[in-house]
Structure 1
Amino acid sequence: MANSDNVKSEAILDQMKLHLATDAGKNLVKKIGLVYQFRIAPKKLGFDEVVYTVDLKKGEVIKGPYEGGKPDATFSFKDDDFVKISLGKLNPQIAFMRGAMKIKGSLSAAQKFTPDIFPKPSKL
């Protein structure tokens, strides 16, 4: 049985932390300047969610809810769907229309959340 602290998305978000420290990451912060909160469920939306904050104002990724007020947009998805979206294998609009991704907050902020904000997987 999967532990809620052991979602596949965690590896992607750890990479995101490193990515935000690079020049490309710093450009993202300048360009986007929004705060996203991710609620990632191991198997079923709304259950055993792990919450992450991707702060593209400060350029940081934090495990836990955003503490600086309200995030600009909050996304909820299953771990597998988050992985597919972040790797560019699932279009965020299609995921939203299928109900695989739920959004709260500003839709215009949410539309700036694209697979481009994620670091590309390194080729081994």
Structure 2
Amino acid sequence: MSVSADGFNASSLFEQLAEGLKDDKIKAQAIKQVNAVLVITLKNKEGKDQHWVLDLKKDGTLAKADSAPKSDVQLLLKDADFVKLANGKANGQKLFMNGKLKVKGNMMKATAIESVFKSIDPRPKL
């Protein structure tokens, strides 16, 4: 099942994340670090919302959803801001302070997601 969504630049990042979670070692590490179900809700340039459910509590899976299910934490932001955040070009705290990132639920769990992206980043570490 594909995790990409038409019109969302973040689709490739979610594909990368889903691919990374197929590695049992990375999956186990992510579950240990985060231990939560995260819903990432993005809004694209056309104003369309898309939800992704990242289960880092039990399964270590990522799925696309039409509506936001119950979760430990939900991140709401624009597609473009999420791409910057995932690529390390934006700071989550700054986005939050500037009102570009909204967090519903457990704030500490939200900060843990950054380490998961870093652990599956295919780019060479300098």
- The TM tier, using the shorter chain, reads 0.7 to 0.9
Could you list the per-position Cα deviations for residues 39-82 of structure 1 after superposition, in whole angstroms to 9, with x for gaps in the alignment?
111127xx311111111121000000465xx2111011111100
RMSD between superposed Cα atoms in Å: 1.8
Query: Which residue number corresponds to residue 51 of structure 2?
Result: 51
SS at match of 1:113: helix
SS at match of 2:39: strand
Equivalent positions of 1:12-51 (< 5 A) are 12-22=13-23, 23-43=25-45, 47-51=47-51
SS at match of 1:112: helix
Identity %: 28
TM-score by length of 1: 0.82
Task: Give the stretch that moved more between structures: 97-106 or 26-35.
Answer: 26-35
SS at match of 2:42: strand
Ranges in structure 1 where 5+ consecutive residues have no aligned partner: none
Deviation of 1:30 (Å):
2.1
Matched AA of 1:117? V
Conserved 8 A contact 1:54-1:60 = yes
Conserved 8 A contact 2:33-2:112 = no
Conserved 8 A contact 2:52-2:63 = yes
Query: Which residue number corresponds to residue 5 of structure 1?
Result: 6
SS at match of 1:80: helix
Deviation of 1:5 (Å):
2.4
Conserved 8 A contact 2:76-2:101 = yes
For 1:39 and 1:32, the matched residues in 2 are separated by: 18
Could you list the per-position Cα deviations for residues 72-112 of structure 1 after superposition, in whole angstroms to 9, with x for gaps in the alignment?
11011111100011111111111100111111112222232
Query: Which residue number corresponds to residue 93 of structure 2?
Result: 93
For 1:79 and 1:55, the matched residues in 2 are separated by: 20
TM-score by length of 2: 0.81
